[in-house]
Structure 1
Amino acid sequence: MNIMVGGTFSPLHDGHKKLIARSFELAGDAGHVVIGLSTDAFAGSKTHPIMPFAERRRALESFIRASEFSASWEIEPLEDKFGSTLNSDFDALVVSEETYPVGLEINRLRKEKGRKKVDIYQITCVLAEDGRWISSTRIHRGEIDDHGRVIR
């Protein structure tokens, strides 16, 4: 199966790792995963500081290689929230609870363009030890670390 997933991944935390791992799981041995990685310009709209694109790419590549996923993969720059999803041929999109509405919008726009809709797989967000979502914003605020442990 050909899968697409995207994000800023700054820093790459356990929630992101779950999203990426699920993408590879769905792709299967013979599948392919395209990971859209927000460019510095697109990521600049975030409310917290973002690591440079090259650093985020290295972190993603390191995680993927260490995980030894069997599907092939590539990372492409994501200039906006859609990336290449509106025109690419692929089977499914993997999203979080937070980005599920973007997945629905992608399918609506694909339909308007006469392209086939894709399956949307939503993962549940990973909870920190305090029961709230792990998020890059919370990490940057110093509330939790990238594994969701509360910083005291």
Structure 2
Amino acid sequence: MARFRAVATGGTFDEIHAGHVALLARAFLEGDRVIIGVTSDEFVKGRKKINHDFETRVANLKKMIGKEFGDVKYQIAKLDSEFGPAVTTGDVGALVASVETQEKGARLNEIRRKNGLAPAEVIAVGLIKAQDGKPISSTRIRAGEIDAKGRLLKA
């Protein structure tokens, strides 16, 4: 039984990898329903290079969720800002974030308080390491260093 009616998580989800699977596994464990924020092309522009547009990233994410988790309750929200529905949805009880992004939880809760909402618990998920002991990331996959499971592709 999940601890929360709803949890929120988010990311760019450009190159789906083992770290994304771990993040979503925790989100589905903690929430009856998961709101997954996916950054819009406009929001990500200038922040980082990506290989896939919003529609492709969402399609790839949905395919991975079906394959890894089966029939789970989730919704995808397009993020044109850092937090999206997590700052306006009252039934969001937790934010599931990587240890790398968990500090955003304090800002999220500041905005939730201003909006008259209860703070959300921040649940941090550890980074998944590649074969070389460094974190798996979309950046490293795009660079051709590792694959989505963290296996080294070049020495």
TM-score by length of 1: 0.91
Deviations for 1:38-57, whole angstroms, at most 9, x for unmatched residues?
11111213332331111111
Counterpart of 1:14?
18
Is 1:97 equivalent to 2:96 in the alignment?
A: no
* Equivalent AA in structure 2 for residue 24 of structure 1: F
Distance 1:16 1:135 in 2: 9
Distance in 2 between the 1:125 and 1:45 partners? 24
Q: State the AA in 1 paired with 2:85.
A: S
Matched, 1:76 2:81: no
Root-mean-square deviation (Å): 1.4
1:16-64 C-alpha deviation (Å, 9 max, x unpaired): 111011100112xxx1111011111112133323311111111111111
Provide the residue aligned with 2:108 in structure 1.
Answer: 106
User: Which residue number corresponds to residue 147 of structure 1?
Assistant: 149
Please report the TM-score for the alignment, with normalisation by the length of structure 2: 0.90
Letter in 1 for 2:7: I
Report the more deviating stretch, 126-135 or 63-72: 63-72
SS in structure 1 of the partner of residue 103 of structure 2? helix
Counterpart of 2:88, as a letter, is: N
- Separation (CA, whole Å) in 2 of partners of 1:7 and 1:68: 18
Deviation above 6 Å: which 4+ runs of structure 1? Answer: none
